[in-house]
């Protein structure tokens, strides 16, 4: 009855899947769990499901209501119960962690057949091949360092372009505040607070971010750039609406679209949220957040699906079909068009009318950052670190944002201490 880790490790050797669905006599079927039960994510995953069924498969998606943790609980309970889904949502470093507790499917043959690996940003590739072969596939890419500016608000203060450095940003924010506009339209929930720091730091210095938030280098965590980032974070906190400071940013969107709030620093998905609320994207200028170093940085957040080893032939056939579909251009295009993300493949043409300027701009930045090696992984969205470390760090960050008695020096010290404690 006791589940021994070593026993599971032994069984975690991935089972290889042959590209041709040789022995699948039953209809390919896939059981899938995710947290995407509604909104644009829900629509996108249902779209994928419909496509799966059009190709002759049986799609069985059980979204888990609640937060991501609820979905992970369910996944873990099912794994413990010996009955994992054929595929499930999972992302970032967690793929590596979870792949050690249950056997996964070796997708190398399928990936090689599609020539997929060279089409994806290298940072992503590593996350999906933790033990050297592909066991998961990315589904969509978002940029977290997107700056949304309310055109009505800009008009009010006479600004005609977006700020390019943090100094310009701060000056513009001060102008807006004087004009009675709330400068920062972000919300105050945990990951939002975490994002604000990563946006500040990545805008200040790309390598500092890489060292501090991705490699957890103690020197980088206590560097001058980090101190500067915390000071900037304090400014963000002061410029947010004190009255609805602890809620989801979407609560602020009506005011933002009217021009009562000025700037939103959010991931590309906000585009879809704005559209869903009936907002007009023409009222919004979408660009990159300020970069003190001049060259653009792309902080990446990607959703992925991981494939769990199953013995049933209909499920293995289903997994192959799903993997194949997920790597296809048209499937990725449709998925990203529904959610407002960027397709994972870098060879997709975004010039059509189905794509927005925001997506085009983000994709261009991605390609450029990819070439100049300035692609970073998002901390707040669980791409840079595993859940425990991310959670401990965000504890400090969210506390800092909501408690103005904590100084930037204290913030930096607390963050470093939290990292130590979480790792120890």
Partner 1 sequence: MKGRLGRYLPLLVIWLPLLINAGHVVGFTAWTTWLSFTPSDLLPEYDWAGIRAYRAVLRSENTEVAYINLLLYGVGFVGLTTLAGFVLAVLIDQRIRAENLLRTIYLYPLAVSFVVTGTVWSWLFNPGQGIQKFVRGLGWADFRFDWIIDRDLALWTIVIAAVWHGAGFAMALFLAGLRSIDPDLHKAAQIDGASPLRYYLRIAAPGVAPIAISVLVILLQYAIKTFDLVRAMTGGGPGIATTLPALVVYDFMFQRAQLGRGSAAAVLLLLSLLLVLLPYYAWAHWRARKERAANG
Partner 2 sequence: MDKALRPGRWLLYAVLIGFALFSLLPLVVVVLNSFRTAVEIGRSSVIGWPEGLSWQNFTEAWGGYCIAQRCEGISPYMVNSLKLVVPATILSTALGALAGYSISLWRFPGDTLMFTIVVMGVFLPEQMKLIPWALVLRELGLTNTLSALVLIHTIQGLSFTTLFCRNYYIGIPQDLLKAAKVDGAGYFRTFWRIILPLSPPILIVTVIWQFTGIWNEFLYAVVFTSGQQQPITAALIALSTNGTVVTNYDVMSAAVLIGALPPLLIYLFGGRYFVRGLTQGAIK
Q: How far is the CB of 261 from partner 1 (least distance, A)?
A: 13
Q: Choose from partner 2, partner 1, none: what does 250 bind? Cβ within 5-8 Å by kind.
A: partner 2
Q: Which is nearer to partner 1, 120 or 221 (CB)?
A: 221
C-alpha pair distances (Å), 167 with each of 163, 174, 202: 8, 11, 15
C-alpha pair distances (Å), 411 with each of 110, 190, 403, 414: 46, 16, 11, 5
Q: Choose from partner 2, partner 1, none: what does 1 bind? Cβ within 5-8 Å by kind.
A: partner 2
Q: Which is nearer to partner 1, 190 or 360 (CB)?
A: 190
- Which residue stretch of 5-13, 258-266, 269-277, 324-332 sits at the interface with partner 2 (rule: CB under 8 A)? 269-277
- Which residue stretch of 80-88, 100-108, 174-182, 397-405 sits at the interface with partner 2 (rule: CB under 8 A)? 80-88
- Distance of alpha carbon 135 from alpha carbon 376, whole angstroms: 22
78 forms part of the interface with partner 2 (CB under 8 A): yes
Q: Choose from partner 2, partner 1, none: what does 348 bind? Cβ within 5-8 Å by kind.
A: none
387 forms part of the interface with partner 1 (CB under 8 A): yes
The residue with tokens 């009955």 is 83
Choose which of 9, 53, 73, 421 interacts with partner 2 (CB under 8 A). Answer: 73
- Distance of alpha carbon 272 from alpha carbon 287, whole angstroms: 15
8 A C-beta contact, residue 299 and residue 290? no
Q: Which is nearer to partner 2, 82 or 132 (CB)?
A: 82
Burial code (b: 16+ CB inside 10 Å, e: under 16) for 119-151 equals bbbebbbebbbbeebbbbbbbbbbbbbbbbbbe
Q: How far is the CB of 192 from partner 1 (least distance, A)?
A: 11
391 forms part of the interface with partner 1 (CB under 8 A): yes
Choose which of 111, 173, 302, 418 interacts with partner 1 (CB under 8 A). Answer: 418
Neighbours of 395 (CB within 10 A): 17
Angle at 163 between CA 158 and CA 169, to 5 degrees: 95
Site string for partner 2, 222-261 (x = CB under 8 A): --------------------------x-xx----------
- Which residue stretch of 66-74, 221-229, 394-402, 410-418 sits at the interface with partner 2 (rule: CB under 8 A)? 66-74
- Distance of alpha carbon 188 from alpha carbon 346, whole angstroms: 33
- Distance of alpha carbon 228 from alpha carbon 209, whole angstroms: 12
* Helix or strand (DSSP H, E) at 325: helix 313-327
Q: How far is the CB of 171 from partner 1 (least distance, A)?
A: 29
C-alpha pair distances (Å), 191 with each of 10, 246, 308, 356: 36, 11, 28, 25
Q: Which is nearer to partner 1, 280 or 421 (CB)?
A: 421
- Distance of alpha carbon 394 from alpha carbon 413, whole angstroms: 14
76 forms part of the interface with partner 2 (CB under 8 A): yes
Query: Which residues does residue 184 pair with via DSSP β-bridges, in sequence order?
Result: 240, 263
151 forms part of the interface with partner 1 (CB under 8 A): no
Choose which of 17, 28, 29, 40 interacts with partner 2 (CB under 8 A). Answer: 40
- Distance of alpha carbon 71 from alpha carbon 67, whole angstroms: 7
The contact set with partner 2 (CB under 8 A) reads 1, 3, 33, 37-42, 45-46, 49, 60-67, 70, 73-74, 76-78, 80-83, 248, 250-251, 269, 272-273, 276-277
The contact set with partner 1 (CB under 8 A) reads 2-5, 8, 69, 72-73, 76, 80, 97-98, 100-101, 188-190, 193, 243-247, 251, 386-388, 391-392, 395-396, 398-399, 401-403, 414, 418, 421-422, 424
């Amino acid at each position: 009855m006791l589940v021994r880790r070593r026993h599971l490790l032994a069984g975690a050797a991935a089972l290889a899947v042959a590209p041709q669905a040789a022995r699948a006599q039953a209809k390919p079927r896939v059981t899938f769990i995710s947290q995407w039960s509604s909104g644009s994510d829900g629509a996108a995953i249902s779209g994928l499901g419909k496509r799966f069924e059009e190709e002759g498969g049986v799609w069985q998606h059980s979204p888990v209501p609640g937060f991501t943790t609820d979905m992970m609980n369910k996944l873990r309970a099912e794994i413990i119960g010996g009955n994992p889904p054929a595929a499930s949502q999972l992302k970032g470093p967690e793929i590596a962690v979870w792949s050690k507790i249950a056997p996964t499917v070796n997708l190398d043959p399928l990936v090689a057949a599609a020539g997929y690996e060279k089409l994806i940003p290298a940072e992503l590739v590593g996350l999906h091949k933790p033990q050297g072969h592909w066991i998961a596939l990315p589904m969509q890419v978002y940029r977290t360092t997107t700056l949304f500016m309310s055109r009505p608000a800009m008009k009010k203060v006479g600004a005609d372009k977006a700020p390019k450095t943090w100094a310009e940003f701060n000056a513009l924010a001060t102008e807006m505040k004087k004009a009675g506009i709330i400068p920062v339209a972000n919300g105050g929930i945990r990951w939002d607070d975490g994002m604000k720091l990563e946006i500040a730091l990545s805008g200040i210095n790309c390598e500092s971010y890489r060292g501090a938030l991705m490699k957890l280098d103690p020197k980088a965590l206590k560097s001058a750039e980090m101190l500067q980032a915390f000071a900037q974070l304090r400014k963000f906190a002061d410029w947010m609406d004190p009255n609805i400071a602890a809620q989801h940013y979407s609560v602020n969107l009506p005011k933002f679209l009217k021009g009562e709030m000025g700037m939103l620093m959010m991931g590309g998905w906000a585009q879809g949220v704005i559209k869903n609320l009936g907002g007009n994207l023409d009222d919004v200028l979408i660009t990159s957040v300020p970069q003190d170093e001049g060259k653009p940085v792309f902080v990446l957040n990607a959703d992925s699906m991981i494939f769990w080893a199953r013995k049933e032939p209909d499920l293995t056939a289903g997994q192959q079909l799903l993997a194949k579909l997920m790597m296809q251009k048209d499937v990725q295009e449709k998925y990203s068009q529904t959610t407002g993300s960027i397709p994972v493949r870098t060879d997709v043409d975004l010039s059509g009318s189905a794509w927005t300027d925001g997506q085009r701009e983000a994709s261009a930045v991605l390609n450029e950052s990819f070439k100049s090696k300035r692609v970073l992984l998002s901390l707040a969205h669980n791409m840079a670190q595993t859940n425990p470390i991310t959670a401990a760090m965000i504890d400090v960050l969210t506390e800092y944002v909501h408690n103005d008695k904590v100084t930037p020096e204290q913030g930096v010290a607390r963050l470093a201490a939290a990292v130590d404690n979480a790792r120890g």
